[in-house]
Structure 1
Amino acid sequence: MSELFNAAEYLTERRVTAGDGARTAVHHPRGTLTYAELATEVRRVAGGLAALGVRPEERVVLCMADDVELYTAILGAMYLGAVAVPCSTMLTGPELAVLVADSRARILIGSHHFADAVRTAAEAAPDLQTVIMAGEPSWQSLLDAPPLQRPHTTWDESPALWLYTSGTTGKPKGAMHRHADIRSVCETYAHQVLDIRPDDVCLSVAKLFFAYGIGNSMFFPLSVGAAAILEPSRPSPALMAENAAKYGATLLFGVPSFWGPLLAADLPDDAFAQVRQGVSAGETLPARMFTGIRDRFGVEILDGIGSTEALHIFISNRPGAVVPGSSGHPVPGYEIELRRTDGTVITGTGEPGMLWISGDSICTGYWCRTAVNRTVFQGEWMRTGDQYVRNEGGSLTCLGRTDDVLKVGGIWVSPAEVESRILEHPAVAEAVVIGIPDDDGLDKPIAYVVPRDGALVDPDELITFCKAGLASFKRPRAVVVVAELPKTATGKVQRYRLRQSHTTVPA
């Protein structure tokens, strides 16, 4: 039997009732919001959406910068019982139009940073009726409507949030989350792994439209009366260091594509002196980055794996017990299985298998994707698409996505293992390894690398370096030096775009 529960009330008014009304909830570029002020703004946005005719369980698409307007729009939509759909701000207008049309949304809220994409999407979305732009008269009109005095009577099972997958495959899908899923990730990862506290201040590289980012900057801090830092701009190492010092960040959430440049940045070693814990997700954190950040800045990074479908991290390292290069152990509240291709479960160590997970935060499925749903979601279990291996001691190491693992000369090769070796080279800042067919149609590992600032990469020397630390068959057959790697908005490398750039092994 479902119980009455509204995630927006849980994150805002519940804290006011608990006596946290005067505590800072949000730091933003123009000031701060206390919990009492945040609750008031959420009711105003919810009232404005209701005045526009937004109905419970109807989708509200958001293409907005990480600022107060997006923060209150997400919470306001959920407070009303509608479904918040924050979308990547890196989408082009036609790409955003696909999501607006797919969600059947009648209302789209944007911010001036992305006005061109919003207008283009609006012209191509047949069900869209209203466009609101933050900072313009339409947004003020929204706030001028009578505020909603109480949350809609949603159940824990009611839909609250859709997050479109980041599209590393090029085909985004809307993962549908319940109000209960938000409470679940707070009570599992945030409370039992991070041990998040009321005096914590959260600073996240990942933005709010990403499952990782919305947990870091909204769900987790608001669940305990802590504070979040919102930053609309691109998160460079210098900007993150500035914000960490200005607001006293204690929890720093990053991704590997941030930690690498941070190591190479010209910053003082005490730039993150107040940070008590670092966190990484998105892709496997190379051991070099873990030890480098720890030794230079004194910040221990907890690497883990999460997903849009699970809403946040479900396997993680633990404070003081990190196994570098691994994703750690299952988060309390989640079960994992490694399965062979025939479906049997692997119980021992050292044998690779497909990672399946079970937990209360897993989405109810993808919107209008029946065939995919039947493959990915089976009973209480979800197929992640990741190949993993269990180590001695029980930690788990990612070998890559199923489509990424290569078979070279009849032997399986993990791109992550080769990438980790390449990243040990002092001239390399970023690396990704993919399989490209040779003249016989057999896959060969090819490395794409981004040099460190001021460094030169000699492809032949780098291949020799790999041979010195890996079995010879694992070495890249060619090295392609590039200025940057194609990535999603969440920092994941779009390997399919690299594959499309070459049909045969480059000379």
Structure 2
Amino acid sequence: MLADQPLHEHLRRHAREKPGAPAIVWYGRAITWRELDGWSDALGAHLQSLGVARGEPVALFMNNCPQYMVAHYAIQKIGAVVCPCGPLNKAHELQYQLSDLQARVIIAADNLLPIVNQVRGQTALQHVLAVRYADLLPAPPAIDLPAELQAAPAPLPAGCTDMLQIAKQGAQAGQAPGPENIAMDDIALMTYTSGTTGLPKGAMLSLGNALFKASVTARSNGIGPGDVALSVAPLYHIAGMLMGVNVPILVGATQVLLFRFDPVAVLQAMDRYKVTHWYSIAPMNVACMQVADHHHYDLKSLLRNPVTSFGITFTEPLAAQWQAFTQGPCLSYEAAYGLSETHTMDTGMPPDAIRWGTHGQPMPGVTIRIVDPDTGAEKPAGEVGEITVRSPGNFKGYWQKPEATAATLRDDWVWTGDQGKLDAEGYLTFVGRTKEMIKVSGYSVFPEEVESILIKHPAVAQAAVLAEPDADKGEVVKAFVVRKPGAEVSAEELIAWSRDNMAAYKVPKHVEFIDALPATGAGKVLRRLLRPG
């Protein structure tokens, strides 16, 4: 491998060494290494022609598709910064992120262009490049398409440019970006996260952070060029990005990419393409095992299946059930502990020494300490404290938020705000979050963001949001609402309004009306006093 080279240079290497081999398989259409490299080169050149400079944020607003991969590497090839925006975001949420970034360019799926147009006049956007999910689909598809991909593509509205057309035409003309003096310490990704509290913040991650975590993840999981990896997790999420965008590009593995999770499509893909590696979320495994005609699918090729517990805990009996279901040598285990600020995968489960109930041991090059959150004193083995992490994967800080950076990144240690413990053999057990972020089916929900939208309702004077345990989703959102004097709104009406104004996973499942929110003398809401008990 090329030491200390950005991941896009590994993409170029594979394009030279095996140009006609499949890099991505998209419902039966193979995108070769030559195509992926050439299209991203041409798109990078186009972005430069728009004046996109080294270090400039470029927003991505789409679900899983090959074009996401093209855009990601095009941006990084010119030294610009990939800034994923969750495709479930509504106008309020997209406007916040674009305004925070002062982004001039966005690459968005065509079905999301109405949201982009809603906020375009309130942001710094100058250029909109559009993506049609269906453009690279084969006819007929080799596996079942989700409903979202079955509609015929509509003409693009005025003011938008067809991204794939630019990439294909530029590649045919041999266009490539001009040279940039790119360094491994350059910021290449900003993924929005809560940090410790408050509205989402852009965690700045470098080319070196991405290479380090991709390298240790590939080695620890035994992923190599001969693997066929199934990518279902969202590419815009840090875990899906590591496992779907970065690791296959580093090692040169073929990636079978799905738009979203569908249990039948997963089984079809495993059978048809002889998938060897799949990173999944525990409910996905359960859903696959519930497919009525699952015995028609040959799943024996699957060798490794790291799993993240969300909503359903991935236990040893469940792993044994999954192995019996695949009827092969598949080894399944809890995937890891990690967070956006560390490019995730700070721990990994040794496949030959699985310890159920833990999240594995620190990855090579990663140091984890459990400390007293008040004194910083290190806790002995077995005692619970705050998880702190130091590694070459640690982020460079939060975009334009020095105070938040100083609170989280201290002397090269990331103070996670999470509670955990290490045993005598160094296995980490995650205990809980001290930060106020809510995890709904694996998605991060930031209380202040939901609150800021709720108070836009004409009947709402104040709102406070908390996590409420949920058997299916892990946690759901509960809102405490103070009505304006004389205003009338029911819980059902406010929940219905929320569905129209925020991403589905952020919508409160329960609303409780109260007369006043508990607050300090300075007016800061004390959410903890709203918790039962």
Segments of structure 1 that go 5 or more residues without pairing to the other structure are 406-414, 417-428, 431-444, 452-485
Moved over 6 A (4+): 166-170, 491-494, 502-506
Segments of structure 2 that go 5 or more residues without pairing to the other structure are 133-155, 443-466, 474-497, 515-529
Match of 1:408 in 2: none
Contact conserved, 1:203 with 1:228, CA < 8 A, in 2? yes
Are residue 153 (structure 1) and residue 152 (structure 2) matched?
Answer: no
2:395 corresponds to which letter in structure 1?
Answer: C
Are residue 342 (structure 1) and residue 374 (structure 2) matched?
Answer: yes
Are residue 188 (structure 1) and residue 188 (structure 2) matched?
Answer: no
Pairing partner for 1:95 from 93, 96, 104: 93
Match of 1:419 in 2: none
Match of 2:6 in 1: 7
Q: TM-score, normalised by structure 2?
A: 0.72
Q: For residue 343 of structure 1, report the CA deviation from its aligned partner.
A: 3.1
2:222 corresponds to which letter in structure 1?
Answer: D
Match of 2:470 in 1: 448
Pairing partner for 1:128 from 120, 125, 128: 125
1:244 corresponds to which letter in structure 2?
Answer: M
Match of 2:485 in 1: none
Q: 1:498 to 1:337 in 2, by over 3 A?
A: farther
Q: 1:255 to 1:493 in 2, by over 3 A?
A: farther
Pairing partner for 1:395 from 424, 427, 430: 427
Q: Secondary structure of 2:239's partner?
A: helix
Q: For residue 90 of structure 1, report the CA deviation from its aligned partner.
A: 0.9
- In the aligned structure 1, how far is the partner of 2:199 from the partner of 2:268? 36
2:70 corresponds to which letter in structure 1?
Answer: T
Contact conserved, 2:48 with 2:177, CA < 8 A, in 1? no
Q: For residue 226 of structure 1, report the CA deviation from its aligned partner.
A: 0.8
Q: Deviations over 1:457-506 (max 9, x none)?
A: xxxxxxxxxxxxxxxxxxxxxxxxxxxxx99xxx9987x95686588789
1:72 corresponds to which letter in structure 2?
Answer: V
2:342 corresponds to which letter in structure 1?
Answer: A
Are residue 241 (structure 1) and residue 267 (structure 2) matched?
Answer: yes
Q: 1:170 to 1:119 in 2, by over 3 A?
A: farther
Q: 1:257 to 1:174 in 2, by over 3 A?
A: farther
Q: For residue 71 of structure 1, report the CA deviation from its aligned partner.
A: 1.0
Match of 1:463 in 2: none
Pairing partner for 1:24 from 4, 22, 25: 22
Pairs within 5 Å for 1:19-418? 19-29=17-27, 31-125=29-123, 127-135=124-132, 136=156, 137-139=161-163, 142-143=166-167, 144=169, 147-148=175-176, 151-165=179-193, 171-191=199-219, 193-232=220-259, 234-266=260-292, 268=294, 272-281=299-308, 283=310, 285-287=313-315, 289-297=318-326, 299-303=330-334, 304-403=336-435
2:238 corresponds to which letter in structure 1?
Answer: A
Q: 1:194 to 1:282 in 2, by over 3 A?
A: same
Q: 1:343 to 1:22 in 2, by over 3 A?
A: farther
1:134 corresponds to which letter in structure 2?
Answer: V
Q: Secondary structure of 1:309's partner?
A: helix
Contact conserved, 1:5 with 1:155, CA < 8 A, in 2? no
Contact conserved, 1:218 with 1:228, CA < 8 A, in 2? no
Q: Deviations over 1:318-356 (max 9, x none)?
A: 113211221011111100000013334445332111100
- In the aligned structure 1, how far is the partner of 2:376 from the partner of 2:197? 27
Q: 1:307 to 1:138 in 2, by over 3 A?
A: same
Contact conserved, 1:4 with 1:154, CA < 8 A, in 2? no
- In the aligned structure 2, how far is the partner of 1:293 from the partner of 1:130? 47
Q: 1:224 to 1:500 in 2, by over 3 A?
A: same
- In the aligned structure 2, how far is the partner of 1:383 from the partner of 1:265? 42
Q: Secondary structure of 1:32's partner?
A: strand
Aligned residues: 428
Q: 1:289 to 1:365 in 2, by over 3 A?
A: farther
Q: For residue 40 of structure 1, report the CA deviation from its aligned partner.
A: 1.0
- In the aligned structure 1, how far is the partner of 2:433 from the partner of 2:204? 22
Contact conserved, 1:175 with 1:364, CA < 8 A, in 2? yes
Match of 1:420 in 2: none
Q: For residue 447 of structure 1, report the CA deviation from its aligned partner.
A: 4.8
Q: Give the superposed CA RMSD.
A: 3.5
Q: Secondary structure of 2:216's partner?
A: helix
- In the aligned structure 1, how far is the partner of 2:271 from the partner of 2:426? 37
Q: For residue 220 of structure 1, report the CA deviation from its aligned partner.
A: 0.5
- Identity percentage over the alignment? 22
Q: 1:353 to 1:294 in 2, by over 3 A?
A: farther
- In the aligned structure 2, how far is the partner of 1:502 from the partner of 1:326? 39
Q: 1:279 to 1:327 in 2, by over 3 A?
A: same
1:390 corresponds to which letter in structure 2?
Answer: L
Q: 1:168 to 1:91 in 2, by over 3 A?
A: farther
- In the aligned structure 2, how far is the partner of 1:348 from the partner of 1:115? 53
- In the aligned structure 2, how far is the partner of 1:327 from the partner of 1:41? 38
Moved more, 113-122 or 262-271: 262-271
- In the aligned structure 2, how far is the partner of 1:235 from the partner of 1:308? 22
Q: Secondary structure of 2:346's partner?
A: strand
Q: For residue 92 of structure 1, report the CA deviation from its aligned partner.
A: 0.8
Q: TM-score, normalised by structure 1?
A: 0.76
Q: 1:394 to 1:140 in 2, by over 3 A?
A: closer
1:385 corresponds to which letter in structure 2?
Answer: G
Q: Secondary structure of 1:57's partner?
A: coil
Q: For residue 164 of structure 1, report the CA deviation from its aligned partner.
A: 1.3
Q: Secondary structure of 1:313's partner?
A: coil
Q: For residue 180 of structure 1, report the CA deviation from its aligned partner.
A: 1.1
Q: Deviations over 1:265-323 (max 9, x none)?
A: 43536653211101123758432543432343353323211211111311121113211
